[in-house]
Amino acid sequence: MIQFQRLEEKLAKMAEIFRQTQAENKSLLQQIERLKAESKETSQRQNTLEHEIQTLRREREEVRSRVERLLEQVEALTNQDSAG
């Protein structure tokens, strides 16, 4: 009879451990899904920011080019005024 009680206790403990493990697994799976979603959002945001950086660099080069042309025109006009 005592052995049967011990067996029942062990089975009850195992059942409790199994329930805890299942709860932990469920929690971990939810955490994994949340982290996957966050990772996807971060990746999308990073791609957006990289695109914005490329656009801004292109625009900066265009502005630099325009400013250089304007400076050349101003210099040419200044040289004409000095020569004339």
pLDDT at 69 over 80: yes
Q: What is d(CA 52, CA 22) in angstroms, rounded to the nearest whole number?
A: 45
CA atoms within 13 A on the CB side of 40: 6
Range of the domain at 63: 1-84
Q: Write down the pLDDT at residue 81.
A: 75
pTM over 0.75: no
The letter for the amino acid at 27 is: S
Specify the number of domains making up the chain: 1
Q: Write down the pLDDT at residue 82.
A: 76
pLDDT at 16 over 90: yes
Q: What is the pLDDT of residues 33-67, one digit of tens each?
A: 999 999 999 999 999 999 999 999 999 999 999 99
